[in-house]
Amino acid sequence: MNTFGTLFTLTSFGESHGPAIGGVIDGVPADFALNLDAVQTELDRRRPGQSALTTGRREADRVEFLSGLFEGRTTGTPIGFIIRNADQHSSDYEQLRTAYRPGHADYTYSAKYGLRDHRGGGRSSARETACRVVGGAVARQVLASLGITVRAYTSQVGPVVLAKNFEELDLSLTESNAVRCPEGSTAQRMIAEIKAAKAEGDTVGGVVTCVVAGCPVGLGEPVAGKLQARLAAAMLSINAAKGFDYGMGFEGAAKRGSEVIDNFEMNTQGRVVTTANHSGGIQGGISNGMPIYFRVAFKPVATLLRPVSTIDSKGNSVELKMKGRHDPCVVPRAVPVVEAMAAMTILDALLISKATV
C-alpha cells in the first residue's frame, strides 16, 4: 500500500524523523542516460526553506542512488535511493505523543495501528512526498526524451485566482517567483495573501493546475484503468489534496452540451485535433493527443500557530499550541509534487499502452 503504479512503480518508505526516507523505482526503461543532477534539482524545488513563504525547516535533502545505474545509464533493474533526514527538532513534537492535532492524521494512525511515531507527523508527514519527487524526476526525463512535458503551476491561493487558462500563460515563468504562479501580478497578490495568513498564525489553501503536453494518442485503459482515474488517484494521494478535476471539470457541471463541444478536425500537419479542448485531452479514458490539463485543490493545512482545543489518547480535553515549523501555504511546494505524480502516472500509462504484440 506504499507502491504507486502498475509497470512503472515507486515504492516508498520513511518517516519524518527516522534515519532516512527513500524508495525503489521499478520499471524504468533500460539503457537510458539518467541525469542525476536534474533529479536533485527537482528535489531542491520541493525542499523546505526555499523562501520566506515556506517552513523554516532546512534540510539538505540529498538523494543518494544505490542501484539500477551502471556507468550513467539505467540497467532496467530497480533504482533504490535514500534521503537522510536531518535538522530534526523532535522535541518540538513531544506534546503530540499523546495529543491529537485537529486536521491531521494523528488520531487515525493511532486508532488504526495502535501506536504512531508522533514526531513530525511520522509517515503522514508531507516529507514523504520528497520520494515521489525523485520518482517523478526519473519519469520526467524519460518522458522528455519522447517529447512529453509535464508542467504545473499555482493557479489559486485562497481567494486569489489566476484568471487565465494555461494556453494564455507563459509557463516558463512559473519558477520566476516564490509562489510558482506564471503571471507576475497575480503571483504578487498570492504572495501577499500567504504573508497575511502567516502574520496571523494562520494558513491558506489553493489550487495547482497541471498540463501534460506532447502526449501520444492511446494512453489509458478502459474501464478500470482510465487515464483520468489514475491521475485522480495519484493527485488525491498527495497530502492536503481535497479535489481533482480535468478538462471542463466542475465548471462543466453548470454547462449545456452545446457550450462545450470539441469538434474533430484535421490540422495542417494531417493530425487529428479538436477545435476546443473541454475534454481535457482524454476521451473515454484514453488520451486523444490534445494537452491534458487538470486541477488539484489543496486545503489550508491545520497547523495553526494558535492554541487549538483537542483531546489526547485518553480522551481528555487538552489545549494544543503547535511549535513545529510549517508552511503557511503548501501550494507552492506542492507544484513539483503534482508534476512528479503526473509524470509517473503518464509514464506508467505509456508503458502499459506499449504492451501489445
CA distance 340 to 137: 6
Least distance CB 94 / a copy of itself (angstroms): 13
Grid cell for residue 283: 476521451
**Cα-based torsion angle of the residue sequence 17, 90, 113, 311 in order, rounded to the nearest 10 degrees:** -150
User: Contact region for a copy of itself (CB under 8 A) — 39-47, 165-173, 175-183, 273-281?
Assistant: 273-281
H or E element: which one contains 69?
strand 69-70
Binders of a copy of itself in range 40-59 (CB under 8 A): none
Radius of gyration of the chain (CA): 21
Select from 116, 140, 189, 325 the one that contacts a copy of itself (CB under 8 A).
Answer: 116
Tell me how many residues contact a copy of itself (CB under 8 A): 151
- Cβ proximity to a copy of itself, 49 vs 243, nearer residue: 243
Residue 96 binds to a copy of itself (criterion: CB under 8 A)? no
- Cβ proximity to a copy of itself, 11 vs 174, nearer residue: 11
Contacts for 323 with CB less than 8 Å, ≥ 6 apart: 92
- Cβ proximity to a copy of itself, 86 vs 170, nearer residue: 86
Strands 282-283 and 286-287, sheet pairing: antiparallel
Least distance CB 110 / a copy of itself (angstroms): 10
- Cβ proximity to a copy of itself, 177 vs 279, nearer residue: 279
Binders of a copy of itself in range 60-79 (CB under 8 A): 64-70, 73, 75-79
User: Contact region for a copy of itself (CB under 8 A) — 1-9, 35-43, 45-53, 54-62?
Assistant: 1-9
Select from 87, 94, 168, 259 the one that contacts a copy of itself (CB under 8 A).
Answer: 259
Binders of a copy of itself in range 178-217 (CB under 8 A): 197, 200, 202-207, 217
The answer to whether the CB of 96 falls within 8 A of the CB of 105 is no
Least distance CB 172 / a copy of itself (angstroms): 25
Select from 114, 172, 268, 269 the one that contacts a copy of itself (CB under 8 A).
Answer: 114
Q: Which of 45, 118, 49, 55 is nearest to 326 (CA)?
A: 55
Residue 33 binds to a copy of itself (criterion: CB under 8 A)? no
Site string for a copy of itself, 121-160 (x = CB under 8 A): -xxx---x-------------x--xx---------x-xx-
Grid cell for residue 92: 518540538
Residue 263 binds to a copy of itself (criterion: CB under 8 A)? yes
Grid cell for residue 188: 504578487
CA distance 245 to 235: 10
- Cβ proximity to a copy of itself, 64 vs 172, nearer residue: 64
- In degrees and rounded to multiples of 5, residue 294 shows phi and psi of -155, 165
Q: Which of 329, 336, 326 is nearest to 49 (CA)?
A: 326
Binders of a copy of itself in range 223-252 (CB under 8 A): 223-226, 228-237, 241-250, 252
90 alpha-carbon distance from chain centroid: 26
Least distance CB 314 / a copy of itself (angstroms): 10
Burial category of 149 from C-beta neighbours within 10 Å (exposed 0-12, middle 13-18, buried 19 and up) = middle
Binders of a copy of itself in range 301-330 (CB under 8 A): 301-304, 306, 308-311, 315, 317
Strands 206-213 and 292-298, sheet pairing: antiparallel
